[in-house]
């Protein structure tokens, strides 16, 4: 590539970031890094009526969580600042005026009432939604139908007006999409889009072209829902004399509902019980919170991995990629044309794989936060009696051991609590119903002797505890296999968890003895 690759993600700060938006970020980011280029984030906030407080910060927090850091943005700066379109307002008017002066655009003085009357007056069965286009612009109040003197007077009086592009009557506009190949449009099917609004702010159509040109964007990747706008943008590049600098475009496939029937939406996520936003988003107007992948318990590496495979693959059966591997493998040629079905079960599989592959040290901070959020202050053993700062260090060592023991059983971060809460507190309930049918006085005597032996143990390590267990079971002429389930339920509360002697070692002597005694008392009264 001759020019340095420069790509951009240009969100509107109107709400939470849908996973489709994050995938657009990801594909831009991967392409830029693959080719040694720059990834820019530009905030498209020209529609102030839709601006939502906190949305911009949310977008950058999401990108930070995903590890997709821009090279240039309102937060990171750069040579083409400002990166918020609302701060670039003075730039756009000159280009709108240039288009008007060249006859490629015109002033339209129609009031909202005029536009509503147009939609009613010209509505027919064949055309139920009349548009401001080549057919109707001659019937409206604009600089194409008014005299030059009238236009001059209206402008001088400060009459509210917009600037619209004058779409050619019957031309074919074509471009080569990096995913779809040759794409063509007939201009007769496109209405005269507003380029500059009455408040002087540009619409997306003008701003995206001007900013892509001024910021030297070489490749523009966006969702396929923007495909119908392509002819307007192509003509603007031509009309402004910038055709030679127009970026290469790629329109990314939609992310579809699990059944493949239509685009995945927030409503689908709410209905089917899975997140479609990257992080929790609370609407400041309604107070409604939409749960995100982060808060649902996904690792950012897993989230990025699953997004990459929604509509792309590297031509192999490989499904698990680090971000470095994705950068190396990514190419737009491997992006699919058709939509990609979102499968939440597959998303869970990705997270489980990433938890399995992560080291306990890599997971420790997030697991600790998960336990703290669930109300667990520390291990039931209080770090086995160690005091002061050494207790904190001991707790960390124990936490790493716990993670190693249970992470293969966890799909979401909350599962660490489900699978490991008994390390922190004594179970509130015990599945004694699974013990009772085969409980005997002989077993009762065994466990009494066992907890007394544990109480007097000097060395508290899993191997020694297991030996003690086996020696006492042999003395009582009991098979260890008959006693393991009761011991597990005494320590854990149910039929799950890692090795029971490792559990005992971690929770400590006093917690182990207390739990055995507690269940013996319960069984005594059943």
pLDDT tens readout for residues 220-250: 999 999 999 999 999 999 999 999 999 999 9
User: Which CA distances in Å does 143 have to 107, 119, 385, 442?
Assistant: 5, 20, 85, 101
Closest CA to 37 of 77, 3, 76: 3
Where residue 386 falls (left for φ over 0; alpha for ψ -120 to 50; beta otherwise) is: beta
- Is the bond leading into 82 cis (omega within 30 degrees of zero)? yes
C-alpha span between 87 and 81 (Å, rounded): 9
Does the structure show a pLDDT above 70 at 389? no
Instruction: Give burial (CB, 10 Å; 0-12/13-18/19+) of 312.
Output: buried
Confidence at residue 107, expressed as pLDDT on a 0 to 100 scale: 98
Asked if CATH classification 3.40.50.620 holds for the domain at 6-83+254-344, the reply, yes or no, is yes
Does the structure show a pLDDT above 90 at 322? yes
- Name the residue ranges covered by the structural domains of the chain: 6-83+254-344, 86-252, 358-423, 432-524
Structure tokens at 327: 């950068």
Closest CA to 110 of 166, 167, 161: 161
Q: In the annotation, is 89 catalytic?
A: no
Confidence at residue 392, expressed as pLDDT on a 0 to 100 scale: 53
pTM (2 d.p.): 0.91
* Percentage of residues of the chain with pLDDT beyond 90: 90
Contact of 276 with 266, CB cutoff 8 Å: yes
95-143: pLDDT as tens digits: 999 999 999 999 999 999 999 999 999 999 888 999 999 999 999 999 9
Give the other-Cβ count within 10 Å of 459's Cβ: 8
Residues 6+ apart with CB under 8 A from 349: none
Closest CA to 277 of 322, 342, 180: 342
193 phi and psi angles, rounded to 5 deg? -65, 145
Asked if CATH classification 3.40.50.300 holds for the domain at 86-252, the reply, yes or no, is no
Name 7's bridge partners.
Answer: 39, 219
Q: What angle do CA 367, 372, 374 make, to 5 degrees?
A: 100
Residue keyed to tokens 């982060």: 294
* Percentage of residues of the chain with pLDDT beyond 70: 97
C-alpha span between 526 and 517 (Å, rounded): 15
Confidence at residue 1, expressed as pLDDT on a 0 to 100 scale: 57
Confidence at residue 526, expressed as pLDDT on a 0 to 100 scale: 79
* Marked catalytic residue, from 34, 216, 266, 518: 266
Structure tokens at 386: 């160690």
Average pLDDT, the chain: 94
The CATH number for 432-524, chosen from 1.10.10.350, 3.90.550.10, 3.20.20.70, 3.40.50.300, is 1.10.10.350
Confidence at residue 386, expressed as pLDDT on a 0 to 100 scale: 46
Name 164's bridge partners.
Answer: 106, 194
Give the other-Cβ count within 10 Å of 138's Cβ: 9
Higher pLDDT, 383 or 40: 40
Q: Indicate the pairing of strand 162-165 with strand 172-177.
A: unpaired
C-alpha span between 66 and 62 (Å, rounded): 6
Angle subtended by helix axes 344-357 and 300-308, to nearest 10: 130
């Amino acid at each position: 590539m001759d020019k340095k690759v420069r790509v951009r993600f240009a969100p509107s700060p109107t709400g939470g970031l849908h996973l489709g938006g994050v995938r657009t970020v990801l594909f831009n980011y991967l392409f830029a890094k693959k080719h040694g280029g720059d990834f820019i984030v530009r905030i498209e906030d020209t529609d102030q009526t839709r601006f939502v407080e906190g949305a911009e910060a949310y977008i950058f927090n999401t990108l930070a969580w995903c590890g997709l850091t821009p090279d240039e943005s309102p937060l990171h700066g750069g040579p083409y600042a400002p990166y918020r379109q609302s701060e670039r307002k003075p730039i756009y008017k000159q280009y709108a005026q240039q288009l008007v002066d060249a006859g490629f655009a015109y002033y339209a003085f129609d009031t909202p009432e005029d536009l509503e009357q147009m939609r009613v007056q010209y509505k027919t069965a064949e055309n139920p939604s009349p548009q401001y286009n080549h057919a109707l612009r001659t019937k409206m109040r604009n600089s194409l139908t008014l005299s030059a003197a009238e236009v001059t007077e209206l402008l001088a009086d400060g009459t509210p007006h917009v600037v619209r592009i004058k779409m050619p009557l019957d031309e074919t506009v074509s471009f080569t999409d990096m995913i779809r190949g040759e794409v063509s449009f007939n201009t007769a099917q496109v209405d005269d889009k507003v380029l500059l609004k009455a408040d002087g702010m540009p619409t997306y159509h003008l701003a995206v072209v001007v900013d892509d040109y001024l910021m030297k964007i070489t490749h523009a990747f966006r969702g396929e829902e923007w495909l119908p706008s392509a002819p307007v943008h192509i003509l603007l590049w031509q009309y402004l004399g910038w055709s030679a600098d127009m970026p290469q475009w790629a329109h990314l496939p939609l992310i579809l509902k699990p059944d493949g029937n239509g685009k995945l939406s927030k409503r689908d996520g709410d209905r089917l019980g899975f997140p479609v936003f990257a992080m929790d988003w609370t609407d400041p107007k309604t107070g409604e919170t939409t749960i995100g992948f982060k808060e649902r318990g996904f690792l950012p590496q897993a989230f990025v991995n699953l997004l990459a495979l929604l509509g792309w693959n590297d031509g192999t059966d490989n499904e698990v990629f680090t971000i470095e591997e994705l950068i190396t493998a990514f190419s737009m040629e491997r992006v699919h044309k058709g939509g990609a079905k979102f499968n939440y079960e597959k998303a869970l599989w990705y997270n489980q794989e990433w938890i399995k592959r992560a080291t306990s040290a890599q997971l420790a901070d997030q697991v600790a936060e998960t336990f703290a959020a669930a109300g667990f202050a520390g291990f039931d053993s209080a770090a086995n009696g160690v005091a002061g700062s050494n207790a904190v260090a001991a707790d960390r060592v124990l936490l790493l051991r716990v993670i190693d023991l249970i992470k293969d059983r966890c799909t979401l971060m909350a599962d660490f609590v489900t699978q490991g809460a008994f390390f922190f507190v004594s179970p509130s309930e015990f599945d004694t119903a699974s013990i009772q049918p085969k409980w005997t006085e002989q077993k009762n005597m065994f466990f009494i002797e066992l907890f007394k032996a544990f109480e007097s143990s000097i060395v508290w390590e899993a191997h020694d505890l297991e030996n003690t267990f086996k020696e006492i079971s042999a003395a009582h002429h009991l098979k260890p296999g008959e006693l393991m389930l009761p011991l597990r339920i005494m320590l854990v509360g149910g039929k799950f968890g890692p090795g029971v002697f490792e559990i005992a070692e971690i929770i400590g002597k006093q917690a182990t003895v207390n739990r055995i005694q507690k269940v013996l008392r319960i069984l005594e009264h059943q």
